[in-house]
Amino acid sequence: MKTTEIKNLSIAVVGGGYGGAAAAIALRNIGAENVHVYEQAPALGQVGAGIGLRPITVELFRQWGIFDEIAAVSSPSDYLEIRSADGQQVLAQEVWPQLNDFDQPNHTRIIHRGDFIEALLGVLPEEVVHLDHKLTSIEDLGGQAKLTFENGSTVTADVVIGADGIRSLVRKQLFSDQEPVFAGEHAYRAVISMDDAFGLGAEDNNPRFYMGQNGTIAYNLPLPHRGQLSYDITAPSEDGSWAPEITNDYLISLLEGFDERIVKIARNLDISQVTSRSVFDIDPVANWHTDSVALIGDAAHAMLHHQGQGANSAIQDAGGLADAFLEAGSVKEALALYQATRKPVTDELQRLSRLGWNANAVENAFPEQAAAK
């Protein structure tokens, strides 16, 4: 599309998480001036734990001119290491893929989810982000779409980007009413001070996964810029309730045979500070777009966390969306091109993420890379 056409588009992004914020940044970067983000939360808060932003994602931050903002609240990592539960055996250790594929090395950046969202929203003008806007309905008008929010306000835009997460109302009302799929797992996450980590995560800035024989996995991501460790335990469970209640003793019971430092942390955790969630993804959605509405991130392709690709996929969606607007001749063509480019990639990542990990069959740290060869 011509620069003047992009400039004059009215664009509404539903959801102020990393996918929605990145979409707004990417579209503003190609000249869209009338972009607004509508987030249901009444205020921004620190939520979640640590994630890894891959080199190809970091390259987009450089292209958008926001690398310094991300680097200020993250730490570089050279490799990912997978160990046996007791930590005595290194099952796989690999340099992050694509680290050296760009003009300058792009290390994977380890970052807290809350810091990440705040950094992304922080580069947007204040008047662009609208809090306390919970979507109640979306109406596809063909060349435009109309949004209605719980606070009574309505917005009609030339383009609507549904970035409203795994339980997306945009997806449910326009594309698919299939519910999220329970993975038979729980995830327990906490961010703790390095002083309380008994030396775990102090070796360097690199994430380490500890693989239990019973399907339990301990994910440890150092956050040295915060002086903290992101401590995650994933374990099989038949309880599909959204936020299961747990105790320290229960966590300890999952960690038989694990590195003693992992067990000690579980014993000393303030359980009120642990996020306890059942793990869900969604089945691939056949279609992500109409002539004026498109899904992005978890709303389009929520995937399990095993490959660490959820946030990265959302950011790369944003980049692919902006590229499509530059290449295509109209909004309709751009949204179709965006889906054609990104959906095959995310379909495969959803599939691989569902495979999970097997402690007895860890051949490499990045199975998505091996599958692409």
Cα separation, 361 vs 13, whole angstroms = 41
| Cβ contact 304:281 at 8 Å | yes
pLDDT at 99: 81
Tokens encoding 328: 């295509």
Cα separation, 244 vs 247, whole angstroms = 10
pLDDT at 370: 52
* Residues in Cβ contact with 358 at an 8 Å cutoff, skipping those fewer than 6 apart: none
* Residues in Cβ contact with 313 at an 8 Å cutoff, skipping those fewer than 6 apart: 297, 301, 303, 345, 346, 349
DSSP-assigned letter for residue 233: E
* Residues in Cβ contact with 352 at an 8 Å cutoff, skipping those fewer than 6 apart: 307, 367, 368, 371
pLDDT tens digit at each of 373 positions of the chain: 999 999 999 999 999 999 999 999 999 999 999 999 999 999 877 677 899 999 999 999 999 999 999 999 999 999 999 999 999 999 999 999 888 888 888 999 999 999 999 999 999 999 999 999 999 999 999 999 999 999 999 999 999 999 999 999 999 999 999 999 999 999 999 999 999 999 999 889 999 999 998 899 999 999 999 999 999 999 999 999 999 999 999 999 999 999 999 999 999 999 999 999 999 999 999 999 999 999 999 999 999 998 899 999 999 999 999 999 999 999 999 999 999 999 999 999 999 999 888 777 777 777 765 544 3
By CB atoms closer than 10 A (0-12, 13-18, 19+), residue 2 is exposed
> Which residue type does 350 have?
Q
Tokens 């990417």 belong to which residue?
26
pLDDT at 358: 79
Cα separation, 178 vs 198, whole angstroms = 44
pLDDT at 371: 45
* Residues in Cβ contact with 79 at an 8 Å cutoff, skipping those fewer than 6 apart: 93, 94, 95, 96, 206, 365
